[in-house]
């Protein structure tokens, strides 16, 4: 965190200061695209029919929405179709360099983006977290979120300061935990590093394949030895939520939106950042190389950055928007969820995903497969 110019508190300050001055779906250059269509690919659960209706009413643009469940899924589709098939996609920020390396997305024309609607710190920080490659921007940041501890408050009360990724691997929780294979290994790495058990500094090893393998050998051995705690692996939000609904899990390492959705269903679920720091990411909209409706894609980007659209998005997807002033339109339960998830110094202690180069993604997948099959 100290090496990155990104402050979640700065984001919150920026959002609050702009709230009262926010216009109601103010029309700007994005409204020039007053007709046509948009082919949008985004995370499953991110886009609601109400959002598409509101966008069409504001711009006249009809949208076809194709959902996907993982970064790998959309990246694979883009590779197979050589950057065509969609006008706008929604990759995680730290994966954007993978698309650039494969020639799948085009640089953003920054003159066509209403940057004054986006939180300043998100714009600046996205430059070093993957949006800018070789001096060119390839993504407009729209949201950020975390992966941390989701737990059943009636069966496993956790408290900030003592809650840890270590809790996922304790023998007394055998058969009661759900995790995602590759990110569980990263959470485990942060715990092992805090215990002084990794051979190399973990963040530094994202720059060196040999150092990364040395760390992952230790991480994998520990994960396999403690695998009995895992009742179910998840790869998308529906699977993670199902682990709590039907498979008896009382603790998991999941996305914030997973926990928020379960809580909305009335389940005794809470979400908390562990002492090692919640795994954090930013996401945004990129334009595929073969985008056929570019004007409409920029119209959608700029509409998403209005406070009302940002609030609709955050309320539906349960992620945190980068649109200035959106907090003025959020329901109280979302604000309470945020406060409970990130108490005290949790915001300053977030662990931000560094850029995931293709070589790291291959290593990550290799060790994940070994873990899953062990």
As a whole number of angstroms, the distance between CA 89 and CA 338 comes to 27
Kindly report, residue by residue over 124-179, the tens digit of the pLDDT: 989 989 999 999 999 999 999 999 999 999 999 999 999 999 999 999 999 999 99
Is the pLDDT reported for residue 36 higher than 90? yes
Averaged pLDDT score across all residues of the chain: 90
Residue 284, both tokens: 């945004």
Residue 259: pLDDT over 70 = yes
Residue 233 and residue 179 in contact, taking contact as beta carbons nearer than 8 Å: yes
**Which pLDDT value is given to residue 327?**
86
Q: Does the pLDDT value for residue 120 go beyond 50? A: yes
Average pLDDT (340-365) is 92
Higher pLDDT, residue 8 or 190: 190
What pLDDT does residue 2 have?
A: 28
pLDDT at 13 over 80: no
Give the residues across from 90 on adjacent strands. Answer: none
231-254 pLDDT, tens digit per residue, is 999 999 999 999 999 999 999 999
Question: What pLDDT digit, counting tens, does each position of 198-225 carry?
Answer: 999 999 999 999 999 999 999 999 999 9
Tokens of 109: 């024309």
pLDDT of residue 35: 76
Answer with the residue of higher pLDDT: 327 or 78. Answer: 78
Instruction: Give the pLDDT confidence score for residue 34 in this predicted structure.
Output: 57
Is the pLDDT at 7 greater than 90? The verdict is no
- Output phi, psi for 135, to 5 deg: 85, 0
pLDDT band at 104 (very low <50, low <70, confident <90, very high): very high
Q: Kindly list the distances between the CA atom of residue 135 and the CA atoms of 128, 130, 131, in Å, as whole numbers in the listed order.
A: 11, 11, 10
CB 285 within 8 A of CB 304: yes
Q: Give 306-350 pLDDT, tens digit per residue.
A: 999 999 999 998 889 999 999 889 999 888 998 999 999 998 899
- Model pLDDT, residue 348: 85
**Residue 12 clears pLDDT 70, i.e. is over it:** no
Residue 319's pLDDT is what? Answer: 87
SS3 276: coil
Its sign, for the CA torsion 295, 142, 309, 115, is negative
pLDDT classification of 48: cutoffs 50, 70, 90: very high
| Lookup: tokens for 31 | 């409204």
Is the model's pLDDT at 9 over the cut of 70?
A: no
The structure tokens 């959902």 sit at 67
Please give the Cα distance from 227 to 3 (Å, whole number). 34
User: What is the spatial distance between Cα 104 and Cα 79, in angstroms, rounded to a whole number?
Assistant: 7
Backbone angles phi, psi at 52, to 5 degrees: -65, -40
The pLDDT value recorded for residue 125 is 87
Average pLDDT over residues 89-115: 96
pLDDT of residue 97: 95
Spell out the domains of the chain, with CATH numbers in brackets.
Answer: 8-144+281-341 (3.40.190.10), 145-279+348-373 (3.40.190.10)
Q: Is the confidence at residue 227, as pLDDT, over 60?
A: yes
Residue 5 has pLDDT above 90, yes or no: no
pLDDT digits (tens, 9 = 90+) for 306-317: 999 999 999 998
- Residue 54 pLDDT greater than 60, yes or no: yes
- DSSP one-letter code for 4: S
> Is the per-residue pLDDT at 22 higher than 70?
no
The pair of three-digit structure tokens given for residue 15, joined into one six-digit string: 């959002």
- What DSSP string describes 8-57? HHHHHHHHHHHHTT--SS---GGGG--SSEEEEEEETTS--HHHHHHHHH
Tell me what the mean pLDDT of segment 259-284 comes to: 95
Longest alpha-carbon distance in the chain? 60
pLDDT score of 251: 98
| Residue 328 token pair | 């003025």
């Amino acid at each position: 965190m100290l090496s990155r110019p990104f402050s979640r508190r700065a984001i919150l300050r920026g959002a609050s200061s702009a709230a009262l001055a926010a216009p109601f779906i103010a029309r700007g250059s994005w409204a020039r695209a007053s007709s046509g269509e948009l082919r949008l690919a985004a995370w499953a659960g991110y886009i609601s029919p109400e959002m598409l209706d509101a966008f069409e009413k504001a711009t006249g643009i009809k949208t076809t929405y194709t959902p996907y469940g993982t970064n790998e899924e959309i990246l694979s589709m883009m590779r197979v179709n050589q950057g065509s098939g969609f006008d706008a996609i929604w990759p995680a920020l730290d994966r954007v360099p993978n698309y650039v390396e494969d020639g799948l997305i085009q640089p953003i024309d920054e003159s066509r983006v209403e940057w004054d609607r986006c939180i300043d710190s998100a714009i600046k920080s996205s430059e070093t977290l993957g949006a800018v490659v070789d001096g060119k921007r390839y993504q407009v940041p729209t949201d950020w979120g975390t992966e941390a501890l989701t737990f059943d408050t009636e069966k496993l009360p956790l408290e900030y300061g003592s809650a840890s990724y270590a809790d996922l691997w304790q023998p007394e929780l055998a058969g009661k935990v759900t995790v995602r294979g590759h990110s569980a290994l990263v959470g485990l790495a942060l715990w092992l590093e805090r215990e002084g058990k990794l051979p190399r500094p973990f963040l530094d090893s994202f720059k060196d394949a040999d150092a990364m393998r040395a760390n992952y050998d230790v991480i994998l051995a520990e994960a396999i030895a403690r695998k009995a705690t895992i009742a179910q692996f998840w790869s998308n939000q529906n699977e993670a939520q199902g682990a709590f609904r039907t498979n008896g899990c009382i603790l998991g390492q999941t996305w914030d939106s997973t926990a928020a959705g379960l809580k909305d269903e009335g389940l005794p679920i809470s979400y908390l950042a562990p002492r090692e720091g919640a795994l954090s990411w930013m996401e945004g909209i990129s334009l595929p190389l073969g985008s056929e409706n570019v004007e409409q894609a920029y119209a959608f980007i700029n509409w998403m950055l209005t406070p009302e659209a940002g609030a609709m998005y955050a309320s539906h997807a349960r992620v945190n928007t980068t649109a200035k002033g959106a907090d003025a339109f959020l329901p109280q339960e979302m604000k309470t969820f945020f406060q409970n998830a990130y108490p005290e110094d949790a915001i300053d202690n977030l662990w931000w995903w560094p850029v995931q180069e293709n070589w790291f993604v291959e290593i990550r997948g290799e060790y994940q497969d070994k873990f899953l099959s062990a």
